[in-house]
Amino acid sequence: MSPQIINTAVYPLDNLSSADARTWVAQLRARLDQDGSCILPKFVTAPALTKMVQQALSIAHLAYPGPTEVSPYFFNYQLGSGDDVPATHPLRHKGKRNLAQVAADLIPPEFLLSQLYRSDLMLDFLSAVTEKPVYRNQDPYQSLNISVMNQGGCQQWHFDSGTMVTTLLLQEPQAGGIFEYAPAIRSEEDENFDAVQAVLDGNSDRVRQNRLKAGTLSLFRGHYSLHRVTGVEGSRQRIQAILGYSTRPGLIGKKESSILHYGPRVAEIEANTPLYPE
Ligand SMILES: [Fe+2]
């Protein structure tokens, strides 16, 4: 029998209409608005976490490394490549990316992680926090990922394409692998390149750290907050699931991005039996 996944004894996702749950959700929303981030330790039960880690490790070898030198604006194609700005400008900055990802089509639907991702409790919870309907992404490769970082693994300073990112840390490394972020450093109106440049240059005035424990769910506004993962130390892998939810229904990413991140395997599938709609 499958263990219970969500730790509803701590987090009332199964009873969101109760007065206590409403107060709690309002607190989460306030924290997100203020900080760009909120974390829910022990979000999954201990037995579920144990099984999730076993299952993730059984397919970790399928993770594809993807690009290794990446701009903070990698996913913001409309900003251009920065050919017309000085070499020191953030648009031309390249940071080291050292991680591999298991694409959604390789994660079996019966895995507890897949069950959690598909759970309506998650949709209802995230909709309550954001006060908007939330949907599962429909991208066949990007909707649910497992990110694997070995010793030395890291992720460069960057912004995400989506406005909300939901992650679940499955396994923490012995040391390092710390999530750092500069909350709301940019907005729709202002890229704030000077402040971004300062962070890239090592200024930590605006930088906060989340030292996540395995089993923690994070909600994060990665589109406006510059963020990175510091180098993983020790032999234990940092394993994190990325759950693709969005307030935009039917969200599908770019095929080119999937080929880049999940490898030539994706190009082959798309050439023969495509998973993306025509
Ligand atoms: Fe990110």
Query: Mind listing the pLDDT tens digit for each residue in 243-260?
Result: 999 999 999 999 999 999
Q: Describe the crossing of helices 19-35 and 120-130 by its angle, rounded to 10 degrees.
A: 60
CA of 275 to the centre of ligand 1 (A): 24
Q: What is the pTM of this model?
A: 0.95
| Average pLDDT for 79-94 | 78
pLDDT of residue 75: 57
Q: Tell me what pLDDT residue 92 has.
A: 86
Distance 41 CA to ligand 1 centre (A): 19
* Distance of CA 222 from the midpoint of ligand 1 (Å): 6
- Whose tokens are 């995230």? That residue is 126
Percent of the chain surpassing pLDDT 90: 85
Q: Which of 224, 101, 83, 218 is nearest to 158 (CA)?
A: 224
**C-alpha 25 – ligand 1 centre gap (Å):** 24
- What's the gap in Å between 63 CA and the centre of ligand 1? 17
Measured N-to-C along each axis, helices 255-262 and 264-272 cross at an angle, to the nearest 10 degrees, of 130
Residue 85 pLDDT greater than 90, yes or no: no
Protein residues within 5 Å, CB atom, of ion ligand 1: 160, 222
Tell me how far the alpha carbon of residue 191 lies from the centroid of ligand 1, in angstroms: 17
> In the predicted model, what is the mean pLDDT of residues 142-158?
97
Residue ranges of alpha helices (H) inside the chain are 19-35, 46-59, 112-118, 120-130, 193-200, 255-262, 264-272
Instruction: Check whether 153 has a pLDDT greater than 70.
Output: yes
Count Cα atoms within 13 angstroms, Cβ side, for 19: 0
The half-sphere exposure of 233 on its side-chain side, counting CA atoms within 13 A, is 5
Mean residue pLDDT across the chain:
94
Residue 78 in this model has a pLDDT that exceeds 80: no
**How much is the average pLDDT of 138-156?**
97
- Distance separating alpha carbons of residues 7 and 44, to the nearest angstrom: 5
Domains and CATH numbers, the chain: 38-272 (2.60.120.620)
Taking residues 194-218, report their average pLDDT. 95
For 17-51, the pLDDT digits (tens) are 999 999 999 999 999 999 899 999 999 999 999 99
